[in-house]
Amino acid sequence: MHRIKASAQAQTAIQQTRAEQTLRHRPRRAMRAGVLALGLVGLVAGCAGQDAGQPVAVSGKLDGVYQASGNEPFWHMTLAQNMLTLETPDKPRIAGPVLHAHAEGRDRLYEAQAMRVEVTAKACSDSTSGQNYADTVRIVTQGRTLTGCGGASLAPTSLNDTRWVVTALDGHRLADGNKAPSDTDRTTDQPGLKAGAPDMAPTLDINASGKVSGSDGCNRYVGGLEFGKNGHVKAAPQGGLSTLMACPGRRDALARQFSSLTRAATHWRMDGTALVLETEDKKTVRLRQVF
């Protein structure tokens, strides 16, 4: 009997000791859990604060330069390395760090001390050049609002109402392809005008219906091609030459090569801002747009 009572007393003592140890360790565990919870909250808050302090990337890379511009009045804006810069011809240059940036749906908002920039992922066409860009940009600064386009340039779906000058024929660059077409290039049928340079670049004018005219580098032409949307081009009746000038060797060869390649073109594509006409056997005519 005494042994049973002693055993029971011993078990009771062990249970009391375990209970006391549990009570002593419980505050420490609770404290550790609390510290861990506070640490997670602080980490999340720190990340949120860091995101809020950094500009929303619009150029696709952190070290890139985002550019936008507009007309009437002309302006040019850049966003690079967390700095906004705005230049206009009638006012001093404005520059300052981005103080706040965030996204709302398709809009990216950037705020500096002297301006607020809104970038919307909506296609925009430059009112002067007709070039299409990925973004519509709105800037509010010094009591006025400026609107324009920014971001990556977009390939056009139609070439109607555009003008081009040839820069290369089947990979061979033309020296005069980097010059704007002059009256001599474009109106060789007018009397009194001197002949152009030996490497005078051919031109391509596409009207509102996709039909063409221009200079082949020697004489003016009408017809021969008709442009459609999304890369389509087809042969069309040649309207003949509006001039019948006899051109010296190099210019005659240039005109013949241009006419041969354009008549054989099966499709068009954009390479950056350059227009490329391509034949079935992969020969090309490369052109740049003029305004």
Residue in 150, 121, 158 with CA at minimum distance from that of residue 133: 150
Tokens of 209: 């219906």
Tokens of 228: 């459609």
> 280 vs 198, which has greater pLDDT?
280
E strands along 2-82, which residues?
65-70, 75-80
Task: Please report the pLDDT score of residue 156 as a whole number.
Answer: 79
Q: How many residues does the chain have?
A: 291
Strand partners, 179: none
Confidence band (pLDDT; 50, 70, 90) for 205?
very high
What is the number of H-type helices and E-type strands within the chain? 3, 19
pLDDT above 50 for 209? yes
Is the pTM higher than 0.75? The answer reads no
Averaged pLDDT for residues 156-180: 83
pLDDT above 70 for 49? no
Q: Using omega within 30 degrees of 0 as the cis cutoff, is the peptide bond preceding 73 cis?
A: yes
Averaged pLDDT for residues 204-232: 90
pLDDT tens readout for residues 18-33 = 444 444 444 444 333 3
Confidence band (pLDDT; 50, 70, 90) for 245?
confident
Task: Please report the pLDDT score of residue 179 as a whole number.
Answer: 59
CB under 8 A, 24+ apart: contacts of 70-73: 70/127, 70/137, 70/146, 70/147, 70/148, 70/149, 71/126, 71/127, 71/128, 71/148, 72/127, 73/146
| Mean pLDDT estimate for the chain | 76
Residue in 257, 274, 270 with CA at minimum distance from that of residue 202: 257
For residues 170 and 261, the answer to whether their CB atoms sit within 8 Å is: yes
Residue in 229, 227, 221, 205 with CA at minimum distance from that of residue 260: 221
Tokens of 128: 């002067």
pLDDT tens readout for residues 253-284 = 889 999 999 999 999 999 888 999 999 999 99
For residues 210 and 226, the answer to whether their CB atoms sit within 8 Å is: yes
| Cα–Cα distances in angstroms (integers) from residue 59 to residues 52, 64, 115, 270, in the given order | 18, 6, 19, 21
Identity of the residue numbered 64: G
CA atoms within 13 A on the CB side of 24: 6
What is the rounded distance in angstroms from the CA atom of residue 186 to the CA atom of residue 177? 14
